[in-house]
Amino acid sequence: MKVVNLKVAQNIFLQKALEKEIDIPHACSVSNGIILMILSHRYSNNSEIDDSDKKIIAIIKKLDMFDLNMKYNITYNLIEKVYLSLIPRKDRYSIIDLIYKDGEIKSKVLNKYKVIMDKYLK
């Protein structure tokens, strides 16, 4: 079964998990979720981020979400902890089902997320 168009809609998995860990503005958790789900979608389909993905990330940057990550102490370690703890829901098939047991994809996603964060915070 091929999963399509889950890049942005599935950010809710990470967003809810992140908000359980730390008291942060909703926009921060949603933005991080969007980036991680874009990367998860791409790597689960053996592709790289495209121009539309880059535009979404640029909009997130323009909204100062990366600076807010620093302000609210949303660290790479926290993102990693939350992302690695995601589990699929029984009532829904999503990108999480595709990556749940795939350590290689998860590692690629987290490495690329770190690259994106480092790029935009400089």
Output the CA angle 105-111-114, nearest 5 degrees: 140
Backbone angles phi, psi at 104, to 5 degrees: -65, -45
Its pTM stands at 0.83
pLDDT exceeds 90 at position 8? no
Q: How far apart are CA 37 and CA 8, in angstroms?
A: 6
Q: What is the pLDDT of residues 15-53, one digit of tens each?
A: 888 888 899 999 999 999 999 989 998 998 888 889 999
pLDDT exceeds 60 at position 5? no
**Residue 45 structure tokens:** 């389909």
Pick from 11-15, 55-59, 82-86: least confident: 11-15
pLDDT at position 11, please? 58
